[in-house]
Amino acid sequence: DTAVSQTPKYLVTQMGNDKSIKCEQNLGHDTMYWYKQDSKKFLKIMFSYNNKELIINETVPNRFSPKSPDKAHLNLHINSLELGDSAVYFCASSQATGGETQYFGPGTRLLVL
């Protein structure tokens, strides 16, 4: 059973389009995250949700809008895609206790042409 899953795995699209990435976790965790990994492999937090509430928003352009319909799901919608949005987007989840371990999904590789 996949603990943290993401769809789609690959996404190729044109500049200016709108796209969504979906994430689901079956670990019973109450905190979920979106991270962005750039072309140099650098990983940076974008958003964090706890019990469907946004708790971290790390200076991400407002073209990016996360939505958490329930504790097990966290989706990422991106409007007006730009070339610089090309990256790998990772979803993760954890239990909101001290020093929580985060479990990562397989990533969504987004290429904007």
Determine the Cα–Cα distance for residues 44 and 65; give it in Å rounded to an integer: 16
Based on the shown chain and the rule CB under 8 A, indicate whether residue 66 belongs to the binding site for another protein: no
Output the DSSP codes for 12-25. Answer: EE-TT--EEEEEEE
Q: Which is nearer to another protein, 14 or 53 (CB)?
A: 53
Based on the shown chain and the rule CB under 8 A, indicate whether residue 25 belongs to the binding site for another protein: no
Q: Which of 75, 105, 110, 112 binds another protein (CB under 8 A)?
A: 105
Based on the shown chain and the rule CB under 8 A, indicate whether residue 107 belongs to the binding site for another protein: yes
The sign of the CA dihedral 9, 5, 70, 88 is negative
Min separation Cβ 107 and another protein, Å? 5
Contacts of 2 (CB under 8 A, 6+ apart): 26
Q: Which is nearer to another protein, 13 or 57 (CB)?
A: 57
User: What residue ranges bind another protein (CB under 8 A)?
Assistant: 4, 31, 33, 40-45, 48, 50, 55-56, 58, 90, 94, 96, 98-107
